[in-house]
Amino acid sequence: MRTNKLQRVLVLGLVSVLSVTALPNTRVDAASETPTIAVEVNQGKTKTITVGESATLKITGTAKEASWYISAEGNTNQGTSVATLSNETASSVQVDAKEAGICYLHAKVGNEDYTCEIRAVEPLQVNGGEEKTVRVGETAAFQVTGATGDVKWFVSSKENYNEKTEVAEVSGKEGTTLTVTAKKAGICYVSAKVGNEYVSCKLTVKAPIVLNGGKTAVVRTGESVKLDLTGVDKDSKVKWYISSKKDTNKKTENAVISKKGKRSVRISAKKAGTCYVRAEIEGKFYTCKITVKPEIVLNDKKNVSLTEGESASLRITGAEKETVKWYISSKTDSNADTKVAAIADGTSQSVQVTAEKAGTCYVRAVIGKESYSCKVTVKAVPVIEKAVQTVQSGQTQEEADSYSSDELYLLSHLIGGEVGANWCTEEQMLAVGSVVLNRVNDPRFPNTLEGVIFQSGQYACTWDGNFDREPTARVVRVAQYLLDNGSVIPTNVVWQSSVPQGNGVYKTLTTAFGYPIVLCY
């Protein structure tokens, strides 16, 4: 009986030894020698922690103190950047997730090493949780991180809400990435819905930076123009350049920067052509094309002097493709009426002005809002001071002082036929009429006006029809002066043509259009 009892004790002892050997993660309490639960970290489960957050993990199943460390792999002590440890105690430790990835938490108890897998995951957020700022017309890309399911995107006027906005619109989608285009200055939100959770990113859209309203600037040589820069932040620094090309700082001769400001620049035009003004802000360039046109000049900036009845052509340069409106007035800056002169045949390049009365007036060329003026001075005809008497007035022999109405008719028609055009001067008319009078008194020619004028092969106006034109009042006054006072040139000057003839040249007169009147002995 005693032998059987001893056998039973030995068998029970053997079973107890086998049980401890089969459970290495269990411990036996020294006092009671009763096995407890297995030694485990975080109850033997994998722990998932969002990057930027922390979790406290405990070891259970032992009363002994644990020492903690973390590694990249489960069975080594290789370092890791995925997480760090803090607030260590004998039975717990705080794990701080630093970046997405997998690492392992180790609890070393005596000679045993117990591990727990740590998974650090990105937080569910858009654009890293940071706000974004763009300008109208620009695009912006947004990415959602930490998403474990399908992503639905919204661009709305409110955070985490789907309400229509005009500030920006979706221009592209691909998985966890969204692209939007800024449309209008303001604020909106780009939101991503993952499962039942919303995450948003604030998007601020600023007005675009624009130089000169986005328009090309036009300026003429010698003038200047101011360019304004809009949409620039108050603390932004602006650098100004002017160049011959749009995308370089190559030197130009067409214009220079005459004044720089924080939000504007003044350009002075030097030479016709094109150049570019460039504003540099935080490494970006905003460009305005400058077109420099030639200076508009009326009559080469010279005043005009005419005698009553004379005409002159005034030309304007630098305005070939512009619409020009012509005026003549008593003042340089208005359209006040004047009787001093009249204009006709105005084009985009020239105008004809005819002197009518002694005095001063102004010919004005108006282009858009700009006006260009030329002063016109009209002198009285330097003939005897008497009333103008024309052939058409029916003047009789008795009414004239020393000549007949027939003589006045003949001489005024001859002068009018030869040099009666508006562009011929009084000097030229007096010279032509004087040659006729000199011939009457020269034995080589007929001794009457009619004989001299109609002598065969002499005056072209008698056979080309110009003799029959009605002479102007100015021509008649010149003829009257000559009949009353005689020739104004030497009496031996009896030849008048477009080329030299006779025995020598006395004087050559040139008309406004370049035609020569050669007076010869």
In the predicted structure, residue 390 carries a pLDDT above the cut 80: no
* Mean pLDDT (whole number) for 48-75: 91
Q: Which of residues 121, 153, 187 is at a domain's end?
A: 121
In the predicted structure, residue 88 carries a pLDDT above the cut 90: yes
Tokens of 312: 């002159």
Residue 282 domain-assigned (yes or no): yes
Supply the pLDDT for residue 160: 67
**How many domains would you assign to the chain?**
5
pLDDT digits (tens, 9 = 90+) for 442-477: 999 999 999 999 999 999 999 999 999 999 988 998
Do residues 348 and 258 share a domain?
no
Q: What is the mean pLDDT of the chain?
A: 85
Do residues 250 and 181 share a domain?
no
Report phi then psi at 301, rounded to 5. Answer: 60, 20
Q: In which residue are the tokens 């409110």 written?
A: 158
Do residues 56 and 108 share a domain?
yes
Do residues 402 and 474 share a domain?
yes
Q: Which of residues 104, 121, 138 is at a domain's end?
A: 121
What's the half-sphere exposure (Cβ side, CA atoms, 13 Å) at 247? 0
Q: How far apart are CA 27 and CA 46, in angstroms?
A: 23
pLDDT digits (tens, 9 = 90+) for 231-273: 998 888 999 999 999 888 889 999 999 999 889 999 999 999 9
Tokens of 396: 């009789």
Nearest CA to 512 out of 337, 342, 314, 328 is that of 314
Q: List own/partner pairs for 356-359 with CB under 8 A and 24 or more apart.
A: 356/308, 356/309, 357/308, 358/308
Supply the pLDDT for residue 194: 86
Q: Which domain holds residue 165?
A: 125-206
* Mean pLDDT (whole number) for 205-227: 93
Supply the CATH number for residue 141's domain. 2.60.40.10
In the predicted structure, residue 391 carries a pLDDT above the cut 50: no
Residue 93 domain-assigned (yes or no): yes
Do residues 281 and 336 share a domain?
no
Residue 59 domain-assigned (yes or no): yes
Do residues 505 and 414 share a domain?
yes
DSSP 28: B
Q: 248-274 b/e with 16+ CB inside 10 Å = b?
A: eeeebebbeeeeeeeebbebbbeeebe
Tokens of 261: 């400001």
Q: How far apart are CA 420 and CA 433, in angstroms?
A: 11
Tokens of 10: 């030995």
- 482 Cβ contact list (under 8 Å, min separation 6): 411, 430, 433, 434, 437, 488
Do residues 415 and 465 share a domain?
yes
Q: Where are the alpha helices (DSSP H) in 310-460?
A: 405-419, 426-440, 449-453
Nearest CA to 399 out of 390, 470, 416 is that of 390
What residues pair up with 259 in beta bridges, in sequence order? 266
pLDDT digits (tens, 9 = 90+) for 95-146: 999 998 999 999 999 999 999 999 998 888 898 888 999 999 999 999 988 8
Residue 451 Ramachandran class (φ > 0 left, ψ -120 to 50 alpha, else beta): alpha
Report phi then psi at 514, rounded to 5. Answer: 90, 10
Residue 111 Ramachandran class (φ > 0 left, ψ -120 to 50 alpha, else beta): alpha
Supply the pLDDT for residue 174: 84
Q: Which of residues 340, 355, 379 is at a domain's end?
A: 379
Residue 19: band (very low, low, confident or very high) from pLDDT cuts 50, 70, 90: very low
Packing angle of the helix pair 473-485, 426-440 (nearest 10 deg): 40
Asked if 285 contacts 313 with a C-beta cutoff of 8 angstroms, the reply is no
Query: What 3 state SS string does 193-240 have?
Result: EECCEEEEEEEEEECCCEEHHHCCEEEECCCEEEEEEECCCCCCCEEE
Residue 12 domain-assigned (yes or no): no
pLDDT digits (tens, 9 = 90+) for 367-385: 888 899 999 999 886 553 3
Do residues 361 and 471 share a domain?
no
SS3 270: coil
Do residues 408 and 499 share a domain?
yes
Residue 10 domain-assigned (yes or no): no
Residue 364 domain-assigned (yes or no): yes
CA 252 from chain center: how many Å?
17
Do residues 502 and 419 share a domain?
yes
In the predicted structure, residue 311 carries a pLDDT above the cut 70: yes
Nearest CA to 450 out of 482, 403, 407, 402 is that of 407
Do residues 78 and 138 share a domain?
no
Residue 363 domain-assigned (yes or no): yes
What residues pair up with 155 in beta bridges, in sequence order? 190
Do residues 414 and 505 share a domain?
yes
Residue 27 domain-assigned (yes or no): no
Supply the pLDDT for residue 147: 80
Supply the CATH number for residue 305's domain. 2.60.40.1080
